[in-house]
Amino acid sequence: MPTIWTIGYEKLLPPELVAELGTAGVERVIDVRFRPQSRRPGMSKTRLGQLLGDHGIAYESRRELGTPADIRFLFHAGKLDEAAAAFRAHVEAHALEDLERLGAELDHGPRTALLCLEADPATCHRRVLTDALQVRHPDLRVVDL
């Protein structure tokens, strides 16, 4: 059964993030932040990629699967239904090939986790992405770390 993991680093320090991923057996992290930058030390693209690589976890930034600022504010404002609908429309219009490529990788690719900031996947665009993947791959199992 294909599986995808999701994780938000909002409440984690870098070593805790690595430990969570390692315990789950994740082999690759796909960073789905539109801007893979962070004020939290160690969580920006370059440093995070180095840290994960040091622990045998591949890192990829796929900003095309991230939430543009004009939609992100809806998630932050708690307008989750509106935010999810806007993000779904954005993916359909601008990142459908990227979503399809990710879906195709899940059967034969490394054990993969989607990474973003938000700790709660229910309030994050990661949920919209995994829901869209499950529509295309009904047997896909989603595990939120």
The CATH number of whichever domain residue 136 belongs to comes to 3.40.1010
pLDDT score, position 38: 86
| Domain of residue 94, residue span | 3-144
pLDDT score, position 88: 96
Token digits of residue 12:
């984690």
Report the residue count for the chain.
Answer: 145
One-letter amino acid for residue 117 of the chain: L
For helices 80-94 and 69-76, the axis angle rounded to 10 degrees is 160
pLDDT score, position 37: 85
Token digits of residue 125:
């665009």
Token digits of residue 28:
């690759």
Token digits of residue 43:
């969580």
For helices 125-136 and 96-105, the axis angle rounded to 10 degrees is 70
Token digits of residue 89:
């429309």
Alpha helices in 1-145 (DSSP H): 14-24, 45-54, 69-76, 80-94, 96-105, 125-136
For helices 45-54 and 14-24, the axis angle rounded to 10 degrees is 50
The answer to whether 1 and 141 are in contact (CB under 8 A) is yes
**How many domains does the structure of the chain reveal?**
1
pLDDT score, position 49: 96
Supply the DSSP symbol for 67: P
- pLDDT (tens, 9 = 90+) of the chain, 145 residues, equals 899 999 999 999 999 999 999 999 999 999 999 998 888 888 999 999 999 999 999 999 999 999 999 999 999 999 999 999 999 999 999 999 999 999 999 988 899 999 999 999 999 999 999 999 999 999 999 999 9
